[in-house]
Structure formats: C-alpha cells, structure tokens
Amino acid sequence: MKNLILTLGTGLILLHPATGYGQEWGRIMSAPEKTNIRAARSIHAKISGRLNAGDRVRVDFLRDGWYAVFAPDEQKRVESRARGYIYAPRLTAVPVPAASKKTDRKTKSLSQETPTAPASRKEPPLEVKNIAVKFEPAGHEKVFIDFNRDVAPELFSIEGKDPRIVIDIKNVSSVRQGLTRINVRGKLIRQIRSSLDHASRQLRIVVDLSPSISYEVEPTFYRAEKMYVLDISAASVDQKK
C-alpha cells in the first residue's frame, strides 16, 4: 500500500492510509460530456486524463468544489490512488435502476409463503463521545476519538510554520462538551481543537503539531470499539529520505 508523503514546514509527514474500513465508500457518477481530469483541484492544473461522455467514475474527498476521481471498481479509499480531480458540476449522479415490476406466479407464491424480512435499522445520529491523548513508549503520541458508530473521516495535513493534521467528519449530530480545545503540550502534539458547523453538520478536528519535526502518522479505525486512532511519532532517518 502506497504511503503519502507531504512536506510540512522544515519536516515531513508520512501519512499512512487508514485501515479498518469496509469497501463501500464514495459514490458512482458519470460525465455527461467529454471532461478533463486535472492533476490538482484547479482549472490551471495539468490535465492527467479525460472522460468521454457516459464514462463512470467513483468519486470522494469533495473539497473546494472538486472531487477526487477513481476507477469505478476501486476498493481502497485512499486519495493518493485517485486518477485526478474533476470539478463537481461536471459530473452527474448515476440513477439507481428501479426494480422490475414483472413477477411470475411462482415468485408471487413464494413471497406469500415466506415471512417478510424485518426492515433494516436506521443508523443512530453520529456522536463524538470523547477525544483523548495518550503518551506511549518510543515517543508515540496517540489521539483517540470515540464515536457511537462506524465512521470514515477525511484526513489531510496543512504545511507552514504551524503544521497540523486536519480531520473532517460529516453528518455529526453532537459533540461532548469540553472538547473545543484540549491543551496537550506533548513533544509532538501541542493541542487539539474541534469545531462543529451545525448547519452542514461537519465536524473539523485540528491536531496542532510542533514545528521542525518530521512525522509518521498512522490512522486506524477500531470497529468493535467505534474508535478512530491517530498514532503520531517522529519519522525515522530512513523515512525522511
């Protein structure tokens, strides 16, 4: 699995793809007409490919009005595996075909004799129950985000004098009080900030890091515990090269 290396200030962040997620992610969309695929989220970016009218792609990681686009059968939700980016209005949703109304007598008879399966349960509103930090041996600092159900956050980094890791989580209904700002003051993590936009229901969690250090970041989601964990450590000499 390919790692994504991002320059961050004078150091590096080695960001491993998240593990622990299922295969269902993103959505399938199509191009109503010939459309360029760009190497970055900009109309001025290099053209890295093209879609013909009717071509389908899997899309995700919507930011600044641009989708990251993947092959329709892509199984791994890793942005570095994207073919490139397409401006969202250039794509249209693929309609789900309606179920056929034709039913023969044998099928009708079977459906009448077989008890109806119970309706699938709706997922409960997404809640953030807690955010905590734990200092572990060998210089590792871990961020634990506790949810009430499965979730697939979007993770990226921001470079500059104040390096940070940003976690965006959609469809959040509530966040426990007292998590707006957490002072950590670790060797790697300075503080954690969170803000919930009630209109869009998007939660942004920002992990502020110490500058001038190269990092290795490994995200993992533990399904049984419903917990998202960021394992942050200083990158080794070999990883910096």
Q: Are strands 11-15 and 227-234 parallel, antiparallel or unpaired?
A: unpaired
Q: Model confidence over 9-29: pLDDT tens digits?
A: 444 556 655 554 444 678 888
Query: Which residue is associated with the tokens 């249209």?
Result: 92
Residues 71 and 167 in one domain: no
Instruction: Tell which wins on pLDDT, 156 or 14.
Output: 156
The C-alpha angle 6, 62, 40, rounded to 5 degrees, equals 50
pTM as predicted: 0.54
Does residue 8 carry a pLDDT above 50? no
Percent of the chain past pLDDT 90, that is, above it, reads 39
Mean pLDDT for 213-239 is 80
The C-alpha angle 166, 170, 174, rounded to 5 degrees, equals 100
| Residues counted in the chain | 241
Q: In Å, how far are 92, 162, 201, 236 from 54, measured between CA atoms? A: 10, 44, 33, 47
Q: Model confidence over 174-198: pLDDT tens digits?
A: 999 999 999 998 999 999 999 999 9
* pLDDT, mean over the chain: 79
Mean pLDDT for 109-126 is 57
Residues 182 and 78 in one domain: no
Residues 148 and 225 in one domain: yes
CATH number, domain containing residue 89: 2.30.30.40
Residues 140 and 232 in one domain: yes
Instruction: Tell which wins on pLDDT, 237 or 159.
Output: 159
| Last residue within a domain, chosen from 77, 93, 109 | 93
Residues 76 and 129 in one domain: no
